[in-house]
Amino acid sequence: MPLNYAKSAMLLVLLTAIFVAMGGFVGGQSGLVVAFVMALVMNGLALWKSDQLVLSMQGAHEVPPGTGNGLHTMVADLAHRAELPMPRVYLMDSPQPNAFATGRSPEKGAVCVSTGLLDMLQPQEVAGVVAHELAHIKNRDTLTMALAATLGGAISMLAQWLQFGMLFGGRNGNNRHGRLATMAAALLAPFAAMIVQMAISRSREYQADRMGAGICGNPLWLASALAKIQQAVRGIPNPAAEENPASAHLFIINPLTGRGMDNLFSTHPDTGNRIAELEKLATEMGITGTGDIEHPRGSAGGSFAPWLNRPSGGSARGIGG
């Protein structure tokens, strides 16, 4: 995927330039040098540790094989269908139903779902969500997404720190240099958000929806999940995401409430449009209900997705424990 690697490199260069420029505004030439050194360290961390940083931001913990048997079985089945290595499986202790994927390559991939997702969705809907996240891993979108979350978040936090310092009369608050630093901070935070939006193209979500539908075998599973998640997100906040708005683009549905600066990080296409595309795809595939599934070639109906053999109408919570 040379194009995605090129986009990741461009993202690194642009975010590094913003961070270094901010250092110059704050500390002059010496600040420029310090910011450049810090940027080199951050770039290394973003490239090699961005997945761990993102998972840590969300308070996610790994689910060892055997403890979340049903969830592991589901992810393993879907990864096999997607022709991917088995990703690590993580769980977020959050009542908001949501999920994301991370990892710099398919070999280092990780899928994270929330406890709220398992509580509110049926197993086939969870499968649609997991398949969407596996599509991001297969497309190698996760590298760019993690870079954007790590570096964009660092820039925004620095901008907020500068503004906070000026508000309470930091040592540069009464001179021209301090005022310029504050002005730069006010401009750079939205600019960083704009770069995140450009780097994480909305078309990637449509591509992952379509590929995910093929992986799980039924576009209506994901369509139903998106509708439920969108409805729930409006009333259930995600404090970890609110504290790190630059990570919002990672999630299958924007987890932010839309207050204040959060709107700057709205990178998701309209959920209704995504559902319409999935319903159109289901028609093309000849699928008319959520009970239908397109099985892999040569597989029997019962050999795939044993986690579907659960009473209808219940949540998927049992597959996580």
Q: What is the DSSP string of 64-126?
A: -TTTSHHHHHHHHHHHHHTT-PPPEEEEE--SS--EEEE-SSGGG-EEEEEHHHHHHS-HHHH
Pick the catalytic residue: 107, 125, 133, 279?
Answer: 133
d(CA 4, CA 300): 36
- Torsion sign (Cα): 115, 121, 122, 124: negative
Tokens found for residue 77: 């089945």
Q: Are 220 and 287 in contact (CB under 8 A)?
A: yes
d(CA 102, CA 198): 19
Q: Are 94 and 116 in contact (CB under 8 A)?
A: yes
Question: Burial of 208 by CB count in 10 Å (0-12 exposed, 13-18 middle, 19+ buried)?
Answer: buried
What b/e string do you get for 225-252 counting C-beta neighbours within 10 Å, with b at 16 or more?
bbebbbebbeebbbebbeebbbbbbbbb
Measured at the CA of 50, the angle between CA 251 and CA 106, to 5 degrees, comes to 75
d(CA 50, CA 149): 8
Tokens found for residue 10: 């461009």
Examine the residue annotation and report whether 133 is marked as an active-site residue of this protein: yes
Q: Catalytic amino acids?
A: 133
